[in-house]
Structure 1
Amino acid sequence: MQNLTTNITEILILLFILITFMQSGIDKAADWKGNTGWLKEHFSGTFLGGTVPLMVAIVMILEIITGFLAILGIIWLLAYDASAWALYACVLSCITLLMLLFGQRIAKDYAGAFTLTGYFIVCIFGVYILS
């Protein structure tokens, strides 16, 4: 119980990351055709248009890894009061969000890029308090 109360902020951030990234990664895997089809249209006028399946696969893998790192981070914080896995989850979440931001900006989807800001703030705060 001591580790829970000591690390409650970190655990809540990791739960946010877990829900956000694991759901997104699973959704990409479950609806591959729908996601790639929509994104092919989204990036059709850009130099990224021909790489959509590869980009989706990379982002999907990173999102799922990030979700698993968040799970490990929560377990290690609760069981051992150790924060390395939690930090890795937060850092990888930031990297993944920066990749998504890059894509949104290239596609000139400025509203979509803006919505990533809130996610990034939570994740970078996690990096800050864990480092």
Structure 2
Amino acid sequence: MEKKEDYEKLYDMLLGYEQEIHKKNQKRIRIGLRCLIIIPLIFLALLFWTESSKIVFLILWIVSLFILAGYLIFVEYSDYKLQEKLNEISNREQQERDALIGDGIAQVEERIRTVLQTAEQELLTDSTKE
């Protein structure tokens, strides 16, 4: 009986660890997205304040975007693999993974579906009236 309690305690610790890393990854994604906005603005300001070559700033801007995109891909992939391993350890069947950018996208998708359904119903009622 003691082993079962130890396993449950270990599993709870593992879940807590995964949730903590997931929250940190959400913060990392937010920081990366902010950097995608801020860094081009910095390069644009430097371009206008200095009289140097525009090509240099363009190259720096492109390289920074590639680095930030790689960083965001790495964070998302590491979070995906972490959740996949946790599902494998807990013997859960392809449970839905938590999105790093939140539930907002699912809500937007649902609202789009409802708007499309109401528009379709209105079109059907209008065509039957004629």
Q: TM-score range by the shorter chain?
A: 0.3 to 0.5
What's the TM-score, normalizing by structure 2? Answer: 0.39
What's the TM-score, normalizing by structure 1? Answer: 0.39
